[in-house]
């Protein structure tokens, strides 16, 4: 989570790194009840695999992952065949093709380069095409369901939500309410609802300096007031002419891993920043903001994951600290353990059909990616 202060950005780390979730929204599907897969071993990585700092895996097929690879010189996405670990640059020779966002049909991916230009990659041919001439700052790219538009947060202060029409490259504002520091954009399946997070500025105050000298300046009392800067969820209805965004939450808990569900609710992980030892919980809020409830409270929820075909999962730790992935019913909160995962797991991504998982694990030198294969987690990067 980032706290924005005029001239300052304060960052507080959560227990896990933020995931890149396959675009597309999720149904609150009823959890199935298969037996959990108990995985206690991790197989050695194949010899010729991507080495270095690798993270944010995304499934783009039954046996292919997109992985972001970071070095001192570059940040670039690769396709990785699993479980073999063979890899290919998504766009050959382009070091800034990173953090790609995959289209709902899995055929294309979008990214912004260092100049804030949007490019669209054909994942079959590994070729990239510039989508627009617009050079404004862009974050949180999100595809429309039909792949005809890209939505994103725009501006140096992240105060506009805009859309890019893929066919002609036209960029237009969808919401320009002058509210700064929007993030975590989610778009409903029909494009009518935009859900996002807002974090307000913190305020720096200082005693007036009576004398113009170094000693007086050093003795001046400076305070940082973060009251009211906690992240809050908002929704905007794009079908209402001259409409205004509706605030969905107001409490001071940290809110992360925001996921818009098809059942008219938003799921997120809630953590009390004043009580660091208190487990994080999975919460739901309705799109009218009238009802908020705890969905999962008996585990320490580290991440929630939605799949395009309607499944909702969480990465969570039990009271003994053992981590596992659970499938959760998005209405009742009934959970079923699906997979045990290594203790070093900090992120999970589930395939679109909810049959495969990849995990990001912390290492002494960074992060690596593994997939579940033959009852074992096999490293596909190192």
> What confidence score (pLDDT) does residue 208 get?
64
> What confidence score (pLDDT) does residue 50 get?
84
Cis preceding linkage at 83, omega within 30: yes
> What confidence score (pLDDT) does residue 37 get?
46
The model's pTM: 0.82
Residue 165 has pLDDT above 90, yes or no: yes
For tokens 């009742």, what's the residue? 332
Percent of the chain past pLDDT 70, that is, above it, reads: 82
Question: Domains in the chain, ordered, with CATH?
Answer: 24-379 (2.130.10.120)
> What confidence score (pLDDT) does residue 207 get?
64
Summarised one tens digit per residue, pLDDT across range 274-291 is 888 899 999 999 999 999
Measured CA to CA in angstroms, residue 133 lies from 97, 166, 376 at distances of 17, 12, 46
Rounded CA separation 220/191 (Å): 51
Among 144, 51, 48, 158, CA closest to 103: 144
1 — pLDDT class (breaks 50, 70, 90): very low
41 — pLDDT class (breaks 50, 70, 90): very low
Residue 32 has pLDDT above 60, yes or no: no
219 — pLDDT class (breaks 50, 70, 90): low
Rounded CA separation 313/129 (Å): 34
Cβ-contact 174, 130 below 8 angstroms = no
Residue 43 has pLDDT above 70, yes or no: no
> What confidence score (pLDDT) does residue 229 get?
79
């Amino acid at each position: 989570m980032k706290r924005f202060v005029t001239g300052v950005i304060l960052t507080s780390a959560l227990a896990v790194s933020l995931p890149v979730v396959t675009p597309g929204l999720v149904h609150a599907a009823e959890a199935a009840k298969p037996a959990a897969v108990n995985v206690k071993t991790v197989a050695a990585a194949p010899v010729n695999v991507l080495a270095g700092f690798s993270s944010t895996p995304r499934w783009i097929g039954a046996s292919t992952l997109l992985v972001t690879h970071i070095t001192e010189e570059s940040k670039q996405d690769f396709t990785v065949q699993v479980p073999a670990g063979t890899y290919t640059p998504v766009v050959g020779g382009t070091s800034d093709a990173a953090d790609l966002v995959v289209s709902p049909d899995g055929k294309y991916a979008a990214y912004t380069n260092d100049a804030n230009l949007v490019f669209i990659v054909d994942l079959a041919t590994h070729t990239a095409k510039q989508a627009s001439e617009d050079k404004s700052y862009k974050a949180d790219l999100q595809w429309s369901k039909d792949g005809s538009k890209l939505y994103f947060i725009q501006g140096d202060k992240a105060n506009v939500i805009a859309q890019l029409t893929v066919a002609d490259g036209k960029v237009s504002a969808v919401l320009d309410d002058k509210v700064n520091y929007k993030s975590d954009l989610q778009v409903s399946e029909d494009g009518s609802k935009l859900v996002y997070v807002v974090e307000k500025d913190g305020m720096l105050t200082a005693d007036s300096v009576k004398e113009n000298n170094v000693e007086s300046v050093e003795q001046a009392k400076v305070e940082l007031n973060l009251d009211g800067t906690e992240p809050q969820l908002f929704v905007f209805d794009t079908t209402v002419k001259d409409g205004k965004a509706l605030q969905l939450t107001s409490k001071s808990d940290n809110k992360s891993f925001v996921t818009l569900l098809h059942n008219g609710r938003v799921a997120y992980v809630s953590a009390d920043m004043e009580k660091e030892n208190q487990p994080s919980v999975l919460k739901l809020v309705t799109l009218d903001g009238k009802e908020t409830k705890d969905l999962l409270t008996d585990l320490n929820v580290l991440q929630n994951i939605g799949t395009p075909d309607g499944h909702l999962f969480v990465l969570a730790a039990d009271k003994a600290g053992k981590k596992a992935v659970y499938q959760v019913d998005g209405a009742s909160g009934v959970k079923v353990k699906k997979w045990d995962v290594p203790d070093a797991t900090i992120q999970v991504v589930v395939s679109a059909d909810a049959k495969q998982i990849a995990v990001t694990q912390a290492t002494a030198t960074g992060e690596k990616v593994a997939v579940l294969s033959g009852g074992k987690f096999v490293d596909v990067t190192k």
